[in-house]
Amino acid sequence: MKEDDYLNALKRLYKENFASLIRFARRFLPVEAAKDVVQDVFVEIWERGDMRYDDATVRSYLLMCVRNKCYNILKHEQMKEQTLHNIQLKNRLLELDYYVSIEKQIIDDEQMKHIYRRIDLLPDRCREIFKLAYYEDKKSAEIAQLLHLSTRTVEHQLYLALKILREKLTNK
Amino acid sequence: MGNVPEELIVRHLQKTSSDEEEARLHEWLREDEQHVALFCEMREIMHSRNNITDKELSLGWDELSRRISRQMVFRKRIIPVWLRYVAATVAGIIVASSVWFAFRPHTVEEKVWVQNVIYNNNGIQKITLPDNSVVWLNENSKLTYNDHFSGEQRDVTLEGNAFFEVEKDVSKPFIVNTGNISIQVIGTTFFIRSCEEKHTIVTLVSGGINVNHTDADGNRLTLARLMPGQEADYNPVTAECYVKFVDTDYYTVWKDGSYRFNNETFATIARQMEHHFGIKIQLSPQLESMRFTGRIMPEHTIENVMEIIHRSRPIKYRITPSIVYIEE
């Protein structure tokens, strides 16, 4: 493959996968670290020069590279902080263990386009509460105060919203 | 799926859970793979809010292409030519790598070698070879070596100047080929200056090396066996080789890119400058004991350095192509 072709292939690979990879990494790492991890994966592919452009496997391969890097970083964190936040880290690692392939992800770029419409289709009360949490990052206690509800009710409605969205996305 | 601890999941997603709640969530997750699936999917939905913008996407690509261009490695497959390479200038350094096939007429076996050609046209470049030997390659110098040193000896070819720190390996001699001489090394540090049609100068800092000459018929003749601190000066025209003792300090500091001097006499500094710029300096005796502190950077020319010295001390100087005259 010619150098220019190779660079173009990398660019295509990048454009088609960067968003979903960064979305994944940000669930586990702070914004900057997540960006670095994804960039590193592409740089390594470039350096090794073994890029095979095969849509079926390459997406999964990229995600696994990102996942492994996230895993190593969290594992390293875990060793540094013996007790503090250790349980949160354990839950993160458990989560990373779950992602053994791309199929485990339920929101791809295509689904991403419809997610806001799906939120708009939630039942009235559920939608109102979920939007405050989702778009404005409000905590349950704040929403409860705002809408004169109990925190427990808000939590239940948020869970319900997630449950409905999950069913739509996974067809369960 | 039994009882789902709704509030634990929601609190986790909102980052309001206590350590005790996290521990309970952890226990629940470990009970069943289905629990993990539910939890992961809900977290994915909640986090879909953090989608990236087109601007972030294009900024990310800009950053990525910057990082790549810094370490551009060119790969090209050429069949079945002797040796060719592609090169491109990137930040002043050219790194080229080419693959070619060597066909052996009497066998069907086909061998693939990767030949690395490093051409450095700016500053001093530090290169680590496959056997962990380190080479500091000077400006406008070229180093060629086999990717894995898979043969019986570690062969490299040098055009220009370089400082070598060779990993010891008695079973696999390290050979530097330059012009029609080769330097055979076991494990050592030395400096080579070579130019086509000009003298090749090899300075040994530590260890031991043989300077060999290979004639047109392939016969190898040892011209000199150097001891630490010695320098061999080989003249390709007369095929003569002279050996003398020299001050090797300059070469050990050269590889660090800049030459520093700390309260040293003008006489010493002038000698180092002669090495550094490849010129003669004629220093008037009254100035020899004058002391200076400073450093010469790779980008400095003799004119720059003389101007700096001139600014700090009232000296007179005149630069000609081959000699610099310095007077009080």
Which residues, listed in sequence order, are joined to residue B323 by a DSSP beta bridge? B280
Q: What is the nearest CA distance from B63 to chain A, expressed in angstroms?
A: 8
pLDDT of the residue at B109:
35
In tens, the pLDDT along B165-177 reads 888 877 888 888 8
List the domains of chain B with CATH numbers. Answer: 6-47 (no CATH), 123-249 (2.60.120.1440), 258-327 (3.55.50.30)
In tens, the pLDDT along B20-69 reads 999 999 999 999 989 999 999 999 999 888 778 888 888 888 888 877 77
The answer to whether B166 touches B189, Cβ cutoff 8 Å, is yes
- Sheet of strand B209-214: strand arrangement: B74-78, B93-103, B110-120, B141-146, B154-159, B174-178, B181-185, B209-214, B220-226
Q: What angle do CA A85, A87, A91 make, to 5 degrees?
A: 120
In tens, the pLDDT along A1-26 reads 556 677 788 888 898 899 989 999 99
Under the banding of pLDDT at 50, 70 and 90, the label for residue B246 is: confident
Measured distance CA(A25)–CA(A22) in Å, rounded: 5
Measured distance CA(A39)–CA(A57) in Å, rounded: 19
The answer to whether B5 touches B42, Cβ cutoff 8 Å, is no
Outline where chain A has alpha helix (H): 3-26, 31-48, 55-80, 86-98, 109-120, 124-136, 140-147, 151-170
Q: Average pLDDT, stretch B216-233? A: 78
Chain A, 77-116: which have a CB under 8 Å from a chain B CB?
87-88, 90-91, 94-95, 97-99, 104-107, 112, 115
CB contact (8 A) between residue A87 and residue B19:
yes
Best of A158, A165, A166 to disrupt the B interface (most B CBs within 10 Å) is A158
Which chain A positions have a beta carbon within 8 Å of B16's beta carbon? 139-141
DSSP assignment, residue A65?
H
HEC string of chain B? CCCCCHHHHHHHHCCCCCHHHHHHHHHHHHHCHHHHHHHHHHHHHHHCCCCCCHHHHHHHHHHHHHHHHHCCCEEEEECCCCCCCCCCCECCEEEEEEEEEEECCCCCCEEEEEEEEEEECCCCEEEECCCCCEEEECCCEEEEEECCCCCCCEEEEEECEEEEECCCCCCCCEEEEECCEEEEECCCEEEEEECCCCCEEEEEEECCEEEEEECCCCCEEEEEEECCCEEEEEECCCCEEEEEECCCHHHHHHCCCCEEEEEEEHHHHHHHHHHHHCCEEEECHHHCCCEEEEEECCCCCHHHHHHHHHHHCCCEEEECCCEEEEEC
Q: Average pLDDT, stretch B196-203? A: 74
Under the banding of pLDDT at 50, 70 and 90, the label for residue B258 is: low
In tens, the pLDDT along B92-148 reads 233 322 222 222 233 333 344 566 777 777 667 888 888 888 888 887 788 888 777
A84 vs B146, more confident: B146
Measured distance CA(B137)–CA(B263) in Å, rounded: 29
For residue A159, give the nearest of B10, B43, B44 by CB distance: B10
In tens, the pLDDT along A111-137 reads 888 888 899 999 999 999 999 999 888
Q: Does A8 contact B at CB distance below 8 Å?
A: no
**B55 class by beta-carbon count within 10 Å (0-12 exposed, 13-18 middle, 19+ buried):** exposed
pLDDT of the residue at B75:
34
Q: Does B297 contact A at CB distance below 8 Å?
A: no
CB contact (8 A) between residue A15 and residue B57:
yes
Which chain A positions have a beta carbon within 8 Å of B43's beta carbon? 27, 95
Which chain A positions have a beta carbon within 8 Å of B4's beta carbon? 159
- Residue labelled with tokens 């200038």: B89
